[in-house]
Amino acid sequence: MLDRLVAIASEAGAVILDIYGRADVGATDKGDGSPVTLADDAAEAVILAALARDFPDVPVVAEEAVAAGQCPDVGHRFFLVDPLDGTKEFISRNGEFTVNIALVEDGQPVAGVVYAPALGLMYAGDRNGARISRSDDGVFCDWTPLAASPAPAAGLKVVASRSHMGAETSDYLAGFEVADLVSAGSSLKLCKVAAGEADLYPRLGRTMAWDIAAGDAVLRAAGGMVRCMQGRPFSYHLSRVPGDTAFANPWFVASGAFDPADLKKPTA
C-alpha cells in the first residue's frame, strides 16, 4: 500500500507544481475563511480517482470534498486526505506545502505519506518503519530510514507553526528548557520531528484530522508520538472536540521518542 500512496502523492504533486508555476493560482476563500486554490481541487481530484481505483472498498475523507458537503460514512478503516496542506505557504510561494494521505484503522494512523513537491521530499511511514526520499523528477528510489530523537540531554529543539504561533503555545513552551525554536509550514513540522531534526512540536490551536494524520503516521513509524494535552496518545475517532465538527482535532503535542511530561520544568 505505501508504495501506491507514494505514487499517488507524486502524481498529485506534479499537478500542484504545474499550477504553482502560474501567475494566477486561483486563490479564493472558503466559507470558514481559509484559502483554497486551483491546486487544492486539482490535486484532490487526482488523489480521489487513484484511491477509488486502487482501494475501492476504503472510504476517503478529503478536505475539499468535506468543505463541499461530501463526506462518506466511515467505519474502522478509512483514508484521510489533505491534497494541499499549507495553502498559505503555497500562495506565498515559500515551498513549505505538502500532499498528505493517511490510512486510519481503529482510530490510529497506520500508514501515511507526506510529499513536499516544491522541495522534492517524500516522507513515508507504516508498521515497517519510516523513511525519506529526495527527488527532482518525481521518482523516488533511494530511501533513508527515519528515527525520531530520544529525550535530549540539554534543551529542546522546538518546531512551531509559521502561520499559527499563538500565546497559548508560548505559555506551554515556557514550561520547558528550549534551546532552539524554528518555524515551518504544513505537516513538515511533524516530519521534522520524525527525522530527528526537532524534538517537539506543540499545536495549541484548531486543526483538522486530515491536516496531521499522514505526518502522525510517519512520526509514529519513526518512534515518536502525538499526544493530546492530557498526555494520552492521539486518536482519530470521530467527534473528539465537543461542539465542533466530526474531524476537528483537539490540541496536541508531537514529540520524539520520549514523553514531554518527563522534561517539564519543576513548578515552584
Whether residue 127 is found in the same domain as residue 24: yes
- The structural domain count of the chain equals 2
Give 211-266 pLDDT, tens digit per residue: 999 999 999 999 999 999 999 999 999 889 988 989 999 999 999 999 999 999 88
State the average pLDDT over residues 113-118: 96
Whether residue 7 is found in the same domain as residue 132: yes
Q: Which of 97, 112, 146 is the last residue of a domain?
A: 146
Residue 268: inside a domain, yes or no? no
Give the three cell numbers for residue 147.
528515527
Q: Is 234 within 8 Å of 226 (Cβ atoms)?
A: yes
pLDDT given for residue 16 in this prediction: 97
Whether residue 87 is found in the same domain as residue 168: no
Q: Could you tell me which residues come within 8 angstroms of residue 59 by beta carbon, excluding any fewer than 6 positions away?
A: 72, 73, 74, 75, 77, 78, 79
**Best CA proximity match to 190, nearest among 147, 221, 157, 159:** 159
Residue 27: inside a domain, yes or no? yes
Beta bridge partners of 225: 255
Q: How many whole angstroms separate alpha carbon 102 and alpha carbon 80?
A: 5
Residue 151: inside a domain, yes or no? no
The answer, yes or no, to whether residue 180 has pLDDT greater than 80, is: yes
In single-letter form, the type of residue at position 63 comes to E
State the average pLDDT over residues 74-95: 93
Residue 22: inside a domain, yes or no? yes
Q: Which of 125, 146, 167 is the last residue of a domain?
A: 146
Percentages (nearest 5) of helix, strand, coil residues in the chain: 30, 30, 40
The answer, yes or no, to whether residue 71 has pLDDT greater than 70, is: yes
Residue 161: inside a domain, yes or no? yes
Q: State yes or no: 86 annotated in a binding site.
A: yes
Of 16-25, 156-165, 173-182, the poorest mean pLDDT is in 156-165
Q: Is 167 within 8 Å of 220 (Cβ atoms)?
A: no
Residue 130: inside a domain, yes or no? yes
Q: Which CATH number goes with the domain that contains 188?
A: 3.40.190.80
Q: Which of 81, 114, 146 is the last residue of a domain?
A: 146
Q: Which CATH number goes with the domain that contains 97?
A: 3.30.540.10
pLDDT given for residue 177 in this prediction: 95
Q: Is 206 within 8 Å of 171 (Cβ atoms)?
A: no
State the average pLDDT over residues 26-37: 83
Whether residue 124 is found in the same domain as residue 45: yes
- H/E run at residue 189: helix 188-194
Q: How many whole angstroms separate alpha carbon 84 and alpha carbon 42?
A: 10
Q: State yes or no: 82 annotated in a binding site.
A: yes
The answer, yes or no, to whether residue 162 has pLDDT greater than 70, is: no
Of 125-134, 175-184, 215-224, the poorest mean pLDDT is in 175-184
Of 8-22, 122-136, 160-174, 195-209, the poorest mean pLDDT is in 160-174
Q: State yes or no: 98 annotated in a binding site.
A: no
Range of the domain at 248: 156-263
Q: State yes or no: 85 annotated in a binding site.
A: yes
The answer, yes or no, to whether residue 135 has pLDDT greater than 70, is: yes
Q: State yes or no: 64 annotated in a binding site.
A: no
Whether residue 123 is found in the same domain as residue 162: no
Residue 244: inside a domain, yes or no? yes
Residue 61: inside a domain, yes or no? yes
The answer, yes or no, to whether residue 125 has pLDDT greater than 90, is: yes
Q: Is 254 within 8 Å of 189 (Cβ atoms)?
A: yes
